Amino acid sequence: MGCATGEEPYTLAMIVNECFEAASLKSYWGVTGMDISMPALNFARQGIYSRRKLDMIPPELRERYFSEYDQLRSQISSSMRERVCFTSGNVIELKKMPMVKMDVISCNNMLIYFRRWRRRKILNSLAERLKKGGILLIGLGEIVDWEHPLLEPVRDDGVQAYVCVK
């Protein structure tokens, strides 16, 4: 949710791919990034980023998942671009979108732009889209004292996450 120019969906794709390979699992997965901005989505689909943006990625992952695009930029591999779908959507109007149950929903640093009542409404809508056992990740401190009957909070000070238990 609120994927902007695609850095987070591609990062999630790399992590998921690494996990599936480490566990010798069949690669049956995909990542969907959603944003309201068409220019941001068009940028994300290209997967081309300045080299400075890649500094925080470990060198072995940069080598594996990126190739030189030009002197100043690199492009994420086609294998990762094929796994990540970018779609236009407005988080305020989630009820108008198809109800698709997800394993993981990541909504980091987006809720801060909304009033508290709107944050709760968005999170309630996201909770309804999780599969049983699914995880909702939100930015640390984006909302406090929110609860949902389908979810249990993950007890870890390093993340703000919830697991769908029903």
The full set of domain ranges for the chain reads 1-89, 91-166
Q: Give 98 or 118, the one with higher predicted confidence.
A: 118
Domains 1-89 and 91-166 fall in the same CATH topology: yes
Does 70 score more than 90 pLDDT? yes
CATH architecture of 91-166: 3-Layer(aba) Sandwich (3.40)
Contact 137, 110 (CB under 8 A): no
* Position 118 pLDDT exceeds 90: yes
Residue 144 has pLDDT above 90, yes or no: no
1-89 architecture in CATH?
3-Layer(aba) Sandwich (3.40)
pLDDT at 95 over 90: no
Distance, in Å, from the CA atom of 15 to the CA atom of 20, rounded to the nearest integer, reads 9
Sheet holding 151-153, edge to edge: 102-107, 130-138, 160-164, 151-153
pLDDT category, 36, cuts 50, 70, 90?
very high
- Say what the pLDDT of residue 145 is: 87
State the pLDDT at residue 68. Answer: 96
Residue 91: both structure tokens together = 């988080």
Q: Span 93-107, mean pLDDT?
A: 89
Residue 3, pLDDT > 90, answer yes
Tell me the β-bridge partners of 22: none
- Does 38 have pLDDT greater than 90? yes
